[in-house]
Amino acid sequence: MKVFERPQVAQRCISSIRQMWPGAHIVVADDSRKQLQLTGYDELIRLPHDVGCSAGRNAIIQATDHEYLVQVDDDYIFTEDVDIGRMIQLLQDHDELVLAGCKCRHIRSAQRKGWTKYYADVRLEGRKLTADRPTRWEQEPDGLKWARVDTISNFWVAKRRLFDHVLWDERLVIGGEHADFFQRIQACNGDEEMLRRIWEPCCDPAPLKVASNPGMMQVAFIPSMWIDHRKKRPAQYQKFRARDRTYEQVYRRMWGISRVDRWRYRK
C-alpha cells in the first residue's frame, strides 16, 4: 500500500484489511513529508518526500518476493464483498491470467454512491484511445462469472511474474500512471499497436520486457466482488493530488493520445 499525507485514511484501510483478511502481509510505502504514525502493518518502506505513487508501488514490488501481490490505494476499504482467496484461485486455474480485479464503489456520503467505470476493452487508433464495454465473458464451474479485459480499477491481485515484464513509469507521479500501466500490460501481451507506440521516441518507456508467448499476460474482471472507495482529501494532501491533470497530459503526450472515449454505465 502506497500512503501519502493522510494518516487517518491509511489507518482505516489497514484496519479493514486486518478485519477481513487477518493473515495478510501488509507492506506500506510512505513518501509523506513526515512519516505517518500507523499501526497494523508488517513492513514500512520510507521514501523521499513526494516521489509519487508510481515510485512507491515499484518500491513495494522490489522489496517483496511474495507469489501474489495485492494492489490497494490507501483510501479503499476492504469489505466482505472482496474474496482475495477466490481471486487467487482464479489466477491459479488460468495460466494466461496475471491479474484479477473487481468493481470499486465510490462512496462520498450515504446518499452519494457510484460505481467505477474503469473496466474495459481498450484500443488505440491513431491519436484516439477507446475504452469499450467488455465482451469476453466466461464462467467457472462454481458459477463465478468474469471477463477478460484490458483495464480495471486500481484494486487487484497479481502474479509475481507480471512484474518481471511491467513496472510503473516513475515520471508519472500522480495521474496517468494507471492507464499507462495497463497499456504496458497490453503491449507485453501482444497488442501490436500498443507495442509499436510504446517504442516510439515520445514514449521512452519505463522497464518493459515483452512476454515470449503472446496472450499469456491477460487481465480478469470479476463483477460480483467490489471494494469500497471513500475519498477524503485534506488540504495538505489536495495540493499535491491536484496535479493529476498535469500528469495526465504527460501520459497522453507519451502515447500520442489527444482524445479518450470511455463507455459509461450506471450500475
- Give the cell for residue 86: 477466490
Sheet of strand 2-3, all strands in order from the earlier edge strand to the far edge: 2-3, 27-30, 43-46
Local confidence pLDDT in tens for the 267 residues of the chain: 999 999 999 999 999 999 999 999 999 999 999 999 999 999 999 999 999 999 999 999 999 999 999 999 999 999 999 999 999 999 999 999 999 999 988 887 655 566 665 799 999 999 999 999 999 999 999 999 999 999 999 999 999 999 999 999 999 999 999 999 999 999 999 999 998 887 765 555 555 666 667 799 999 999 999 999 987 777 788 888 889 899 999 999 999 999 999 887 655
Report residue 240: phi and psi, to 5°: -85, -40
Task: Please state the separation of Cα 156 from the chain's center in Å.
Answer: 6
Q: What is the pTM of this model?
A: 0.92
Residue 254 CB contacts under 8 Å (≥ 6 apart), including other chains: 169, 176, 180, 202, 203, 204
